[in-house]
Amino acid sequence: MKAVANKLPLDIETIRLDFPILKRKVNGYPLVYLDNAATSQTPQQVIDVIVDYYSNYNANIHRGVHSLSQEATDKYESARKKIQQHFNVANSHEIIFTSGTTHSINLVANGFAQELEKGDEVIVSALEHHSNIVPWQMLCEKTGAILKVIPMTQEGELDMEAFHKLLSAKTKMVFVNHVSNALGTVNPIEEIIEATHKVGAAILVDGAQAAPHIKADLQALDVDFYVVSAHKICGPTGVGMLYGKEKWLNKLPPYQGGGEMIATVSFEKTTYAELPHKFEAGTPNICGGIAFGAAIDYMNAIGFKNIAAYEHQLLEYATKELLEIEGVKIYGTSKEKTAVISFNIEGLHPYDIGTIVDKLGIALRTGHHCAQPIMDFYKIPGTVRASFSFYNTFEEVDLFIGAIKKAKMMLQ
Ligand SMILES: *Cc1c(COP(=O)(O)O)cnc(C)c1O
């Protein structure tokens, strides 16, 4: 293990000092946080921004002439610009602040009702999070469109041959995640986007699980919609983004009505505000938006190339150590994957393993990971999932492996 330690791409010990929560104990043991695919931890730099907002310039935005309101508006809009730059988006008004990935997807699904007719087809993948399945099912029920599914393989990859066969002139939209939260598979979205556009359909990519590991260039990808939650990239919960191409955002109807999203209101007729405000009804999560920008700054200061390289080392080491335990089966063995390991131990229930290792301070996820169709595919009730971040260490991998061995001994 120590062989790699002297050529790490990141100074982990210094980085860890940024995260106050990593100093705490859980059940008498130092916290080993390996549930990063569910939510990431928050560095002091982001916490400071949140405290600063409520301590010094808490005010409603976009409508006040007073100084505090101006200050809050400037910071909020500059966060939007940071997000725009990070994802290499052409216009800042193509970035819509939402409450997160789920909200972003529902906004698009709701708007797409007007684009679909009975018999049209929409395509989803077998690897999706429930939040990228259910809104489209609801849309199909409303419109009479038909939901088609890209099947997956034993390795946890999309069956691309089958995908190309599903595409036709009837296809109106494709939804696929960039990275699977349950298995860590990185999907070939470049190929998927290109093929989707060839048949004249639109495509939404769920980037929630990719954003912590991959800096996506949305203009190069030429994707129609891309959605992200701030809380998976060191930001707060309750805020996220919807990127949409200008032509789509102009075409789709508003999702919610209210303040902020109007130009003029009378009882005869209301006209809508320009982008991005058309989709931002009501007082937004102002502090959250600003902290989202700070989180992006924090991650970029560390550098996504360094993050990906280091997490890959953690993944390889943890995978190798885990496979030495008898009876371990890993689900999702795609060549391209982020640092997520979904696994089971023969004869043991994932929940029991999760409960025992929690007693030893190890935070893992057990269950279906909001992706029941994947569990059905493997004919299992769920898995144990360890998901790593750049602030995890090789020592923590050892503690995790030790705890799994202990749990196995106790349960068998
Ligand atoms: C976390 C996650 C979501 C849901 O994000 P919310 O923040 O709960 O809205 C959707 N898709 C993927 C791939 C995720 O990892």
Per-residue pLDDT of the chain (412 residues; tens, 9 = 90+): 444 444 667 899 999 999 999 999 999 999 999 999 999 999 999 999 999 999 999 999 987 789 999 999 999 999 999 999 999 999 999 999 999 999 999 999 999 999 999 999 999 999 999 999 999 999 999 999 999 999 999 999 999 999 999 999 999 999 999 999 999 999 999 999 999 999 999 999 999 999 999 999 999 999 999 999 999 999 999 999 999 999 999 999 999 888 888 888 888 888 888 999 999 999 999 999 999 999 999 999 999 999 999 999 999 999 999 999 999 999 999 999 999 999 999 999 999 999 999 999 999 999 999 999 999 999 999 999 999 999 999 999 999 999 999 999 999 8
Could you tell me which of 226, 156, 157, 215 has the C-alpha nearest to residue 193? 226
* Torsion of Cα atoms, 361 then 362 then 363 then 365, to 10°: -140
Q: Residue 368 sits in which domain range?
A: 12-43+304-411
The reported pLDDT for the residue numbered 60 is: 95
- 132: Cβ below 6 Å to ligand 1? yes
Of 272, 301, 330, which closes a domain? 301
pLDDT digits (tens, 9 = 90+) for 187-246: 999 999 999 999 999 999 999 999 999 999 999 999 999 999 999 999 999 999 999 999
Question: Are 240 and 98 in contact, with CB atoms under 8 Å apart?
Answer: yes
CATH of residue 315: 3.90.1150.10
Of 255, 281, 301, which closes a domain? 301
The reported pLDDT for the residue numbered 412 is: 87
The reported pLDDT for the residue numbered 228 is: 98
Ligand 1 nearest-atom number relative to CA 99: 9
In this structure, are 277 and 321 located in the same domain? no
The reported pLDDT for the residue numbered 7 is: 60
In this structure, are 217 and 70 located in the same domain? yes
Ligand 1 nearest-atom number relative to CA 209: 15
Catalytic residues: 370
In this structure, are 71 and 32 located in the same domain? no
In a domain, 210, yes or no: yes
- 229: Cβ below 6 Å to ligand 1? yes
In a domain, 110, yes or no: yes
In this structure, are 216 and 310 located in the same domain? no
Of 268, 301, 334, which closes a domain? 301
The reported pLDDT for the residue numbered 259 is: 85
- 102: Cβ below 6 Å to ligand 1? yes
In a domain, 142, yes or no: yes
The reported pLDDT for the residue numbered 262 is: 85
Residue 46 Cα, ligand 1 centroid: separation in angstroms? 21
What distance in Å separates the CA atoms of residue 109 and residue 132, rounded to the nearest whole number? 10
Q: Which residues of 358-378 are buried (b: 16+ CB within 10 A; e: fewer)?
A: bebbbbbbbbbbbbebbbebb
Residue 409 Cα, ligand 1 centroid: separation in angstroms? 34
**DSSP conformational letter for 105:** H
In this structure, are 204 and 338 located in the same domain? no
Question: Are 248 and 311 in contact, with CB atoms under 8 Å apart?
Answer: no
In this structure, are 404 and 286 located in the same domain? no
- 208: Cβ below 6 Å to ligand 1? yes
Q: 10 Å Cβ neighbour count for 207?
A: 30
Best probe residue, ligand 1, of 99, 108, 129 (max atoms within 8 Å of C-beta): 129
What distance in Å separates the CA atoms of residue 409 and residue 18, rounded to the nearest whole number? 36
Placement of tokens 């493997």 in the chain: 378
